[in-house]
Amino acid sequence: MSAILEGSKAVAESVRLCRPNLVCAYPITPQTHIVEELAGMVADGRLEAGFVLAESEFGAASIVLGGSAVGGRTYTATSSQGLLLMVEVIFNIAGLRLPVVMTCANRAVSAPINIWNDQQDAVSIRDSGWIQLYVEDNQEALDTHIQAFRIAEELMIPVMVCMDGYVLTHTMEPVDLPTQEDVDSFLPPYEPKYRLDPDDPFTMGAMVGPDAYMETRYHVHMDMMEARSVIARVAEEYAEAFGRHHGGLIETYDLEGADVVLVSMGSLLGTMREAVDELREEGLKVGLLKVRCFRPFPKEAIHDALMGVGIVGVIEKDISLGLEGTLCSEMRAAFCGEESPEISSFIMGLGGRDITVEEIKQIAWDLARNPACRVEFRGLREELLRGDEG
Amino acid sequence: MAVEERWVINLMEPGHTGCAGCGQAIAARLVLKAAGPRVIVANATGCLEVYTTTYPRSSWEVPWIHSLFENAAAVAAGMEVTLKAMGRYEGIKIIAQAGDGGTADIGIGCISGMFERGHDILYVCYDNEGYMNTGYQRSGLTPLRARTTTSPPGRLSYGNRTRKKNMPMIAVAHGVPYVATATVSEPRDLMRKVQRALEIEGPKYLHILVPCVPGWGYESELTVELARLAVETNLFPLFEVENGVIARVKKPKEARPVEDYLRPQRRFAHLFQPGGEEVLEELRRIAEENSRLEPGPARLFGPGAPE
Ligand SMILES: Cc1ncc(C[n+]2csc(CCOP(=O)(O)OP(=O)(O)O)c2C)c(N)n1
């Protein structure tokens, strides 16, 4: 069924189709519409799930942790400050190997407080042991949530679906809604490999000392590495079942013979596609690489896709303060020990600052003229910078 | 009242690494003995969690989870709602348990949420009056004037400056239908309270005083005796509140002087130094307030019991 839906509503419909046993979240802009939508579904009986209004995001994350530990399919959603308040639980969920699925409606992080979109929130917790998938549009958001439960439950690794706040959550787009039947056959009921059950008692979350702690971390890491093939496979299977493929780990656009490749995550790719089309017409051979799966990081896929490319510009809405854009650092790692393209970091769009097609095109031209690896902020308002106060 | 003793086995097994004379270990074993095997336990970080589950061993014969220091109540809430939604809740009881720090300080947000939403959970606070797992630091339930490693007496200090936060009344104020206090010198009373609590649907709060050998500084054979003295000196009153009404108070036949309880504990040794008399008087006042606790509507405001 086709419908024109706000991104948040598309996600809520997708979550409903996945038949969660527990939905629990705490409102924060720009995630709120998702939770409100789900509350409405529960209120009118369209969604039969436990629904808890938590007292905080910390509580919400702990509640879905508990629900998952007794074998339920559980879902939460948050943004920014909420995600940061959850952080202790987020690491814990991953370490306990509980397949929780979460939407992060990406938003800037305080201070200064700012409710608009960038990706600093999710990027900051990349090391927590959650799979992170970044989506480009509302259809991909909808489809990726269904895939997320499959991936999480197969691997017993939690999955975070990251979608740009406002840009996607508050934007109406036509989406195709799968039928309940089709989702049911793609995503069968969750059969937990272990759960807390008085008929078969076991201890979850024991104290582990230096004698075994490293091995547990090793296992999580190895399973995260393994997750790359599962994420790619599930995307293929989804394409077979529903006819849509958004890239498994990465997606490329116009890479053929590209002199310059621009890289990013999330909704910015839409704008970048436009820029690339125009640049090609203007005679600059530019390609795109979309990183859909940020954790586990698809090093090999990126390496292979960019083999022979000389110049790479990573445009991202986050920064590891004191270094460069985080995705850019990861991109460099993909070429560790090998001949690497010149990889530059462009920080843009922080706190919701608009990124235009023109700005992206300018980056491509600048890189073509001077490929030297560098870190730059783009789109700064010069009049607000230090020394210019008058 | 007769306590059902269908479970003669321990559901919290011995062989753990708790200290000799640990009051919390006695209490936790009794709680489970009274609750029986059809429970799921969410345990906060703290001594109990650490000494019962040092990998690869576990003392727990019931399904048991430890997530974090401050979220046992929320984890339990998630379990309850999910089991109900899945139709698997029938016949299961859920217990959330934590130390006094995990309860009255860092965990109070999650507990308040759980109480307010009315989950069917028994929350047990094992109150050893400090952060014992991390080396005897002060908590919001450390008694007035006790020495802890972060409230040491000194030239300008007589130890902890604050009274115990009134957790039972905080629970009552949430409308929790059953709130009780207990301690390890009254094992049958403790078990009866667990069973009474588990008969009631909704949130329940059981606050158990558990003496701590190294934290309080006393000889390990005195654990049960000190628990008894805490009650007999009126420094730890035993009572039950049902639906906002103090239903029962277990009063000492004859109140003993607070010194009987304080003197064997090194954490109060400074009160028996010159200048300590004034401070002792403060503690006598608290005991006296507690002694006035009577059945009737629970007073939510102002320190101590009704006039
Ligand atoms: C968020 C967080 N802060 C601090 C700690 C360190 N910590 C672990 S247990 C504990 C004290 C536990 O005290 P209490 O809850 O009273 O239980 P007890 O060990 O005394 O039984 C502390 C401070 C932690 N694990 N997590």
pLDDT by residue, tens only, chain A of 390 residues = 899 999 999 999 999 999 999 999 999 999 999 999 999 999 999 999 999 999 999 999 999 999 999 999 999 999 999 999 999 999 999 999 999 999 999 999 999 999 999 999 999 999 999 999 999 999 999 999 999 999 999 999 999 999 999 999 999 999 999 999 999 999 999 999 999 999 999 999 999 999 999 999 999 999 999 999 999 999 999 999 999 999 999 999 999 999 999 999 999 999 999 999 999 999 999 999 999 999 999 999 999 999 999 999 999 999 999 999 999 999 999 998 888 999 999 999 999 999 999 999 999 999 999 999 999 999 999 999 977 554
Domain-wise residue ranges, chain B:
3-297
Which range marks the domain in which residue A298 is found? Answer: 250-386
Kindly determine whether residue B61 and residue A71, on different chains, have CB atoms separated by under 8 Å. Answer: no
Percent of chain B with pLDDT over 90: 92
Angle between helix A213-242 and A80-95 (nearest 10): 110
pLDDT of A336 reads 87
Position B299 confidence tier, pLDDT thresholds 50, 70, 90: low
Q: Which residues contact A99 (CB under 8 A, 6 or more apart)?
A: A68, A73, A149, A152, A153, A155, A156, A157, A158, A159, A190
Q: For the domain B3-297, what is the CATH code? A: 3.40.50.970
Say if residue B275's pLDDT is above 90. no
- The number of the ligand 1 atom at minimal distance from the alpha carbon of B127 is 16
B56 interface with A at CB cutoff 8 Å: yes
Helix (H) or strand (E) holding A290: strand A286-291
Say if residue B296's pLDDT is above 60. yes
B191: helix, strand or coil: helix
Q: Report the C-alpha gap between B38 and A361 in whole angstroms.
A: 65
Kindly determine whether residue B61 and residue A212, on different chains, have CB atoms separated by under 8 Å. Answer: no
A120: helix, strand or coil: helix
Q: Report the C-alpha gap between B109 and A57 in whole angstroms.
A: 11
Last residue of a domain, one of A181, A211, A242: A242
Q: How many CA atoms lie within 13 A of A175 on its CB side?
A: 26
Q: Report the C-alpha gap between B100 and B123 in whole angstroms.
A: 12
What amino acid is encoded at A159 in this protein?
V
Q: B83 contacts in A (CB within 8 Å)?
A: 70, 72
Give the least confident one: A118-122, A203-207, B153-157, B259-263.
B153-157
Q: Are residues A320 and A201 in the same domain?
A: no
Considering only CB atoms, B58 lies closest to which of A55, A64, A206, namely A206
Position B303 confidence tier, pLDDT thresholds 50, 70, 90: very low
Q: Are residues A237 and A254 in the same domain?
A: no
Longest dimension (CA), chain A: 73
Position B6 confidence tier, pLDDT thresholds 50, 70, 90: very low
Could you tell me the pTM of the whole model? 0.96
pLDDT of B1 reads 34
CA B91 to chain CA centroid, Å, is 26
Q: Are residues A286 and A177 in the same domain?
A: no
Q: Report the C-alpha gap between A234 and A238 in whole angstroms.
A: 6
Q: Are residues A308 and A369 in the same domain?
A: yes
pLDDT digits (tens, 9 = 90+) for B97-108: 999 999 999 999
Last residue of a domain, one of A211, A242, A273: A242
Q: Report the C-alpha gap between B108 and A183 in whole angstroms.
A: 40
Last residue of a domain, one of A242, A273, A297: A242
Closest CA to A346 of A377, A367, A318: A377
Q: What is the 3-state secondary structure (H, E, C) of A321-379?
A: CCCECHHHHHHHHCCCCCCCCEEEEEECCHHHCCCCHHHHHHHHHHHHHCCCCCEEECC
Say if residue B3's pLDDT is above 80. no
Q: Are residues A293 and A230 in the same domain?
A: no
B92 interface with A at CB cutoff 8 Å: yes
Q: Are residues A72 and A173 in the same domain?
A: yes
Q: Specify burial of residue A299 (Cβ count, 10 A radius: 0-12, 13-18, 19+).
A: middle
pLDDT of A1 reads 87
- Measured in angstroms, the CA of A260 and the nearest CA of chain B are apart by 47
Q: Report the C-alpha gap between A190 and A154 in whole angstroms.
A: 9
- Measured in angstroms, the CA of A258 and the nearest CA of chain B are apart by 49
User: Do residues B136 and B148 lie in contact, with contact meaning Cβ atoms separated by under 8 Å?
Assistant: yes
Closest CA to B16 of A207, A211, A194: A207
Q: Are residues A231 and A257 in the same domain?
A: no
Say if residue B301's pLDDT is above 80. no
Q: Does residue B97's CB lie within 6 angstroms of at least one atom of ligand 1?
A: no
Task: Report the complex ipTM.
Answer: 0.96
pLDDT of B8 reads 56
Q: Which strands make up the sheet holding A293-295, listed edge to edge?
A: A50-53, A22-25, A74-78, A101-106, A159-164, A131-134, A293-295
More confident residue, A107 or B9: A107
- Measured in angstroms, the CA of A167 and the nearest CA of chain B are apart by 32
Number of H helices, E strands in chain A: 12, 16
- The number of the ligand 1 atom at minimal distance from the alpha carbon of B70 is 1
Say if residue B304's pLDDT is above 90. no
DSSP letter for A182, please. H
**Which residue CA neighbors atom 9 of ligand 1 most closely?**
B46
- The number of the ligand 1 atom at minimal distance from the alpha carbon of B98 is 15
Q: Are residues A198 and A216 in the same domain?
A: yes
- Measured in angstroms, the CA of A135 and the nearest CA of chain B are apart by 28
Phi, psi for residue A388 in degrees, rounded to 5: -105, 5
Q: Does residue B102's CB lie within 6 angstroms of at least one atom of ligand 1?
A: yes
Q: CB B157: neighbour CB atoms within 10 A?
A: 13
Distance B103 CA to ligand 1 centre (A): 10
Position B300 confidence tier, pLDDT thresholds 50, 70, 90: low
Q: B123 contacts in A (CB within 8 Å)?
A: none
Q: Are residues A212 and A274 in the same domain?
A: no
Q: Specify burial of residue B105 (Cβ count, 10 A radius: 0-12, 13-18, 19+).
A: middle
pLDDT of B2 reads 40
Which CATH number do you get for residue A154? 3.40.50.970
- Which tokens belong to B285? 């006042």
Q: Does residue B211's CB lie within 6 angstroms of at least one atom of ligand 1?
A: no
pLDDT digits (tens, 9 = 90+) for A250-293: 999 999 999 999 999 999 999 999 999 999 999 999 999 999 99
Buried b (16+ CB within 10 A) or exposed e, A162-196: bbbbbbbbbbebebebbeeeebeebbeebebeebb
Q: Are residues A228 and A256 in the same domain?
A: no
Considering only CB atoms, B83 lies closest to which of A70, A88, A205, namely A70
**Which residue CA neighbors atom 22 of ligand 1 most closely?**
B134
Q: Are residues A47 and A74 in the same domain?
A: yes
Structural domain count, chain A: 2
User: Do residues A133 and A248 lie in contact, with contact meaning Cβ atoms separated by under 8 Å?
Assistant: no
- Which tokens belong to A184? 């049911």
Q: Are residues A230 and A273 in the same domain?
A: no
Q: A59 contacts in B (CB within 8 Å)?
A: 71, 74, 77, 109-110, 113
Closest CA to A347 of A374, A322, A385, A378: A378
